Structure 1
Amino acid sequence: MHPMLRNAAAAVAFALCAPFASATVLDFDDIVGPDGYAAVAANYGGLDWSGAGLNVFTSEQDPFAAHSGAGRVTTDWTDGGPVASTIRFLAPTVFEGAWFSGYEDSSVRFDLYFQGLLVASSAALQLSGVAAFLDAGWDGAIDTVVVSSGAQGSYAMDDFSFAGVTEVPEPGSLALLLAGLGMAGALRVRRG
């Protein structure tokens, strides 16, 4: 294969795959309060956390093991705190999951929503003092995640993972690109 065609084919493969390579992991390590405890900002990581009621802490505390770094989030430990935390994405997103640790007598799960409708719920993860990954269990687009637990302050969440959904190129754009590559190949054969 001619180097020009090989380079063009590699560029096309990269262009077609690049939109799907936008995974994000929020590790909460960049949120540090004066005493190792701080509220999650309403727009942290480009998401809407205003309905989450989550706080970040960085100090060692059993059974709330971090998966990576020191930062992890939990609900408020005071009476009357939330047992469900709502996190909203600003655009349709594929949510992958997060790491959890916490009290062994509690569990945690995700409820996933798109345009106000429940589209999926994850399996429940029994908590322990060792961080474990809870897979979202849904590969489709969502715009809201609700993290639910049996009791407030029973879990720590770390490495919240998602990938933005990007538009797939229109068929006409792909056809035009392929036609151009075909013409370049035909010219190469004709000259060769």
Structure 2
Amino acid sequence: MKQQLLALALAPVLALSFAAAASATTLTFDDIGADGFVPANYGGLDWSQGDWFNFGGAQDPYTAHSGDYRVASGFLDADAATTIRSATPIHFDGAWFSGLDGATVTFNLYYQGALVATSATLDPSSTPSFLASGYSGLVDQIVVASPAQGSYAMDDFTFTAAVPEPQTVALMLAGLCFVSGIARVRNRR
């Protein structure tokens, strides 16, 4: 009985701990620290499908949103070459864009191989603008679609790692209480 009460008392604490662990990650590209290709596993994501290039310094209209660095796709790449993958599901918030007028960008979001959402379309300018994913579900692959790859810059790519829902944590604790209760009964015999 004490163990069950302890588990019930710990459930809210664990749920809050999981919620705190779900803080957003923003990749600024400034920590890469040099011009060159984005490392394959930068920020815990897989950037190896494309030739994302990190660059710094003032280059109008490719204005950074924060810091000095931002990334660009390869010039005239196919959209598939902009694929960013995550080994574990994430919630993708969006990113900031600047670039040439007409170099519109859209996010295509995938989960387990299926297209689950497409964002609005943003026409960049020299003033960085945020393009929200517009989707709150889980994704494991993000494609930045544009008819003019290489003519925009992306900065402050923001996502949140998926964490168990509070109901899942409570269910796990209930199972743990059940198993510990059975173990106690067996130990008394």
TM-score with structure 1 length normalisation?
A: 0.78
Superposed CA offset, 1:115-156 (max 9, x none):
000000000011111001100010000100001111121110
Instruction: Give the distance between the partners of 1:151 and 1:89, measured in 2 at CA.
Output: 25
Unaligned runs of 5+ in 1: 1-7, 178-192
- Per the alignment, residue 187 of structure 1 pairs with none
Q: Tell me which protein shows more helix as a share of its residues.
A: 2
Superposed CA offset, 1:30-75 (max 9, x none):
1133xxx210011111111011321000111010111110110001
Q: Contact 1:55–1:74 at 8 Å: present in 2 too?
A: yes
Which of 40, 61, 66 is 1:68 aligned to? 66
Are residue 132 (structure 1) and residue 129 (structure 2) matched? yes
Instruction: Give the distance between the partners of 1:151 and 1:83, measured in 2 at CA.
Output: 10
Deviation at 1:19, TM superposition (A): 1.8
Q: Tell me which protein shows more strand as a share of its residues.
A: 1
- Per the alignment, residue 142 of structure 1 pairs with 139
SS at 1:88 equivalent: strand
Following superposition, which runs of at least 4 residues in structure 1 exceed 6 angstroms of deviation? none
Instruction: Give the distance between the partners of 2:148 and 2:59, measured in 1 at CA.
Output: 18
Instruction: Give the distance between the partners of 2:79 and 2:11, measured in 1 at CA.
Output: 47
Instruction: Give the distance between the partners of 2:79 and 2:139, measured in 1 at CA.
Output: 21
Are residue 59 (structure 1) and residue 60 (structure 2) matched? no
- Identity rate, percent: 47
Instruction: Give the distance between the partners of 2:77 and 2:142, measured in 1 at CA.
Output: 18
Instruction: Give the distance between the partners of 2:157 and 2:23, measured in 1 at CA.
Output: 14
Superposed CA offset, 1:71-108 (max 9, x none):
1000124xx53445100011011000000011012210
- Per the alignment, residue 94 of structure 1 pairs with 91
SS at 2:135 equivalent: coil
Deviation at 1:23, TM superposition (A): 1.4
Q: When the two structures are aligned, how many residues end up with a matched partner?
A: 165
Task: Read off the aligned partner of 1:19 and give its amino acid letter.
Answer: F
- Per the alignment, residue 27 of structure 1 pairs with 28
Pairs within 5 Å for 1:113-132: 113-132=110-129
- Per the alignment, residue 181 of structure 1 pairs with none
- Per the alignment, residue 162 of structure 1 pairs with 159
Instruction: Give the distance between the partners of 1:172 and 1:140, measured in 2 at CA.
Output: 21
Q: Contact 1:101–1:156 at 8 Å: present in 2 too?
A: yes
Deviation at 1:12, TM superposition (A): 5.7
- Per the alignment, residue 38 of structure 2 pairs with 40
Task: Read off the aligned partner of 1:44 and give its amino acid letter.
Answer: Y
Unaligned runs of 5+ in 2: 1-7, 177-189
- Per the alignment, residue 49 of structure 1 pairs with 47
CA-atom RMSD, angstroms?
2.2
- Per the alignment, residue 5 of structure 2 pairs with none
Task: Read off the aligned partner of 1:61 and give its amino acid letter.
Answer: Q
Q: Contact 1:53–1:82 at 8 Å: present in 2 too?
A: no
Q: Contact 1:102–1:155 at 8 Å: present in 2 too?
A: yes
Q: Contact 2:15–2:169 at 8 Å: present in 1 too?
A: no
Deviation at 1:166, TM superposition (A): 1.2
